Structure 1
Amino acid sequence: MSSPSQVGKLTIFVFTITLLSFVVESQLTQYVQTTLSYSQPYFIFYLVHSCFMLAFPCHLLYLALTTGRPTSTYLKSLKLAVIDHFSPRRSVGSLEAAQFPWYRFAFLIIAVTAAVTVPALLWFIAMTLSSVTDVTAIWNTNAFFAYVLSVKVFGLKWETRKLVVYGGSTAEEAPPSSEAASHPHSPSEPSMPLLGDLLTFIASIGYAGYQVHYKKYAALAEPEDTIDDHYEPLPDPEHPPNASTDDALPPLPYGLYSNMMTFAIGFCTMVLLWIPLPILHWFNVEPFSLPNDLKTTGAILCIIVSGSIFNAGFMILLASLGPIITSVGGLLTIVLVFISDVVLGNTDALTIWTVVGSATIVAAFGVLAYDILYKR
């Protein structure tokens, strides 16, 4: 039996942090927009997605502090990776002489931003209308749609077993707590669960499409889980490489390219997607207002941090593991949201069926973790 690889362990760590961040973001998003009555889904979405820019500079700072190499080294390698992505099969020497494809790269970033914005915005809106448990369960049906689209886009072979596994993972709707039942007009009670569930379902399909097409068109051709810690910086221009070493790109540190793409999505969001804010305010669709107390402000800051961590981790996993494994692993959020609901007082959600369903998902995740650690 082979021992777990360092990259495999790192992938499991990123997976765990990503899932926990999703749960925190989900619970706090509904708490802010219902219990605290700060219903500003587009504004919160804008803040969270604009702050995607935080992951990349933090990663660069970490690399600079732990390796002693200047950030310019990593930026140069990223530049060559992008050029190679649009014009593959070149040597490093020819890549250095090539112009950076600004227009093609900008189009790619705008397309990726649009693709992730629509389902994410629908998710934020659904959180104001339905329960966290329902939204999380329906959202995770993207595992099924990701498989169907992957078969179509990547020309994979249909496997009925996988269709059953990916399509059969559902979460039973938790009955309302006794507190909610005794206060039917409580601000934390879902106001329009059917509409919220429908929006989540549409968002789930859209997010599956985003995952598959990101992997096909935006991610590097070489999976990021094959890029190990033995990073070699590009040679100094005054000391050109030998012909024997001038035939391939140097490997990038794990997750750096994905974090660069996440940064680009955040930048695009910040620059372009503020425009609907005054329009929504003008037509009284979402009248703009800042949070008026520290509790709401602090909760929104936590949403921003957890949302940024989730999306940065998800982008890394999507690039390294692909849309099918990533979306299936995301099913574990159903279990985590269920546990958090119980911890927060919704004990009526604790039934034999939810326990059995959760145990099944955990077991499936255990198989997935074993596959990542020992077989990849």
Structure 2
Amino acid sequence: MSMTRTNMHGPFDGRSHQPLLDEEQQGRMSTGGFGYGDAEGRPMLHHSRRSTMRSKSPDALAKHQTRQKYFIASGFLLLSLASFVVQTETAVYIQHDLGWDKPYCMLYFTHGSWFLLWPIQLLLLRIQKRKLSWEAFWRRHVYMLRTTGQMVESQNLHLTPDNGRSPIPYLLKTTAFVTSALTVAGGSWYVAVNQTTPSDLTAIYNCSAFFAYAFSIPLLKEKLRFDKVFSVGVAIVGVLVVAYGDRDDGNKGEKHEGGSRLLGNLIIGIGSVLYGLYEVLYKRFACPPEGTSAGRSMIFANTFGSLIGSFTLLVLWIPLPVFHFLGLETFRWPTGEAAWMLMISVAANATFSGSFLVLISLTSPVLSSVASLLTIFLVAIVDWFRTGQPLSMASIIGGVLIMIAFFLLSWSTYREMNEERKKKIQQDDVESESDE
């Protein structure tokens, strides 16, 4: 059950005193996946909240809620890793084997597909709550999104009448600058891919984990902790080992002119910084505050992902005709096998992105960024099975270092989340006592 006080206030639209439908009340009594029952339920009684807190110590309750978040996050981590591998393999096959080399167009299609996240989520939630009438279901869903948006804007679990304005203008502005950072960061990879070496590309771009931590300190008020710095450092060392450990074996793809390579490294360096910034901006400006229930966080994460996809489709098509007329990238629809493989790649990217947004919302940008580095090792393993070429020693050592860094950072983040949630529960308990 969510321990927030958000639902202590009804919607501030003049309808808070309308009687609810009987079937809506019955549906609210049931619970199910996605945390939908509590996430979208109406106000919980104050005395039940206090009795729940008193039945468990703050330490036990904090551990339970943190474990629940980590359990859900683990599922989305596995889903994101699997879908990223599928996306990577299909994208490489489309561009190199099938000859459909349209980087910005592929970026537009993949990021634009995120708009499907909310409709698919809505369908799953509707199936789960099929006993409710559509009117009751829709009203509850809109109410949950509205109040969560207000929580995101105010970064406060305790909504007041002053927070009653519509969160739509704030979310539209947030979508615009978060999507812009994401698009420039993603586009830099495609621009630099023919400018620099694959080793430099991999090593520099995946240093975004370091920049995510660097931006988290001023924007998310994260403390500078030695265990986190050490974990991120080990992860980056692992990436460097993978990228540069077998230079003698891979020189055939490493030949680039000095000026071109320097330019490519600068471009991908900017992309690395912006991708780390994108992750932190999303956490800071588009995620509910700490203490929000896992179900509510998941639903809102996918909804915001749909906003990113919608912004991409409605605005970021503009460079397509510009690139076409300038000859930078001639537009051509994929056909035949390329079209089918692109559909698979796009679906995999949407799955990865939705899972990754949920992962950031439930944990932290730093942990999510380091977790994404696991895909380097996984893609290498898949390539081994696909091509028959065994893993190099550098890939194995680098992959092991990345996994060690991920587990160290996971434990550090788990302890930190547990401590913060314990403090939050103690504060809420004191406030509940003062209300008696």
TM-score by length of 1: 0.79
Counterpart mapping for 1:55-204 below 5 A: 55-68=117-130, 69=132, 70-87=137-154, 94=161, 98-127=164-193, 135-167=201-233, 168-170=237-239, 171-173=242-244, 194=261, 198-204=266-272
* Higher deviation after alignment, 103-112 or 132-141: 132-141
Distance 1:89 1:339, change over 3 A: closer
- Identical columns (%): 26
Distance 1:51 1:191, change over 3 A: farther
- Residue 333 of structure 2: aligned partner: 290
State the shift of 1:174 in Å.
7.0
**SS of residue paired to 2:222:** coil
- Residue 364 of structure 1: aligned partner: 405
What CA deviation, in whole Å up to 9, does each residue of 1:253-306 have, x standing for no partner?
x511011110001111111111111111111111111123x2111121111011
1:213 to 274, 278, 281: 281
Distance 1:198 1:25, change over 3 A: farther
Distance 1:138 1:197, change over 3 A: same
Contact 2:152/2:285 (<8 A) preserved: no
* Higher deviation after alignment, 100-109 or 328-337: 100-109
- Which whole-Å CA distance do the structure 2 matches of 1:207 and 1:10 have between them? 24
Distance 1:340 1:174, change over 3 A: farther
What CA deviation, in whole Å up to 9, does each residue of 1:174-204 have, x standing for no partner?
75999x99xx7xxxx6886946555433211
State the shift of 1:160 in Å.
4.5
Distance 1:72 1:61, change over 3 A: farther
Partner amino acid, structure 1, of 2:238: S
- Residue 307 of structure 2: aligned partner: 264
* Higher deviation after alignment, 197-206 or 271-280: 197-206
**SS of residue paired to 2:387:** coil
- Which whole-Å CA distance do the structure 1 matches of 2:108 and 2:372 have between them? 23
Q: 2:102 aligned with 1:51, yes or no?
A: no
- Which whole-Å CA distance do the structure 1 matches of 2:349 and 2:374 have between them? 17
Which structure has the higher relative contact order (CA within 8 Å, separation 6+)? 1
- Residue 312 of structure 1: aligned partner: 354
- Which whole-Å CA distance do the structure 2 matches of 1:174 and 1:301 have between them? 35
State the shift of 1:126 in Å.
4.2
- Which whole-Å CA distance do the structure 1 matches of 2:248 and 2:121 have between them? 42
- Which whole-Å CA distance do the structure 2 matches of 1:330 and 1:207 have between them? 12
What CA deviation, in whole Å up to 9, does each residue of 1:302-336 have, x standing for no partner?
11011111111111111111111111212211211
Contact 1:116/1:207 (<8 A) preserved: yes
State the shift of 1:63 in Å.
1.3
- Which whole-Å CA distance do the structure 1 matches of 2:107 and 2:265 have between them? 18
Higher helix share: 2
Distance 1:331 1:265, change over 3 A: same
- Which whole-Å CA distance do the structure 2 matches of 1:173 and 1:125 have between them? 21
Contact 1:258/1:316 (<8 A) preserved: yes
Bigger radius of gyration: 2
Where does structure 2 lack aligned partners over 5 or more consecutive residues? 1-59, 419-436
Distance 1:52 1:102, change over 3 A: same
Distance 1:278 1:336, change over 3 A: same
What CA deviation, in whole Å up to 9, does each residue of 1:93-121 have, x standing for no partner?
8379x341433332111111111111112
Distance 1:105 1:370, change over 3 A: closer
Q: 2:81 aligned with 1:19, yes or no?
A: yes
1:34 to 87, 96, 109: 96
State the shift of 1:371 in Å.
6.7
**SS of residue paired to 1:156:** coil
TM-score by length of 2: 0.69
Partner amino acid, structure 2, of 1:275: I
- Which whole-Å CA distance do the structure 1 matches of 2:276 and 2:220 have between them? 14
Backbone CA RMSD of aligned residues: 3.3
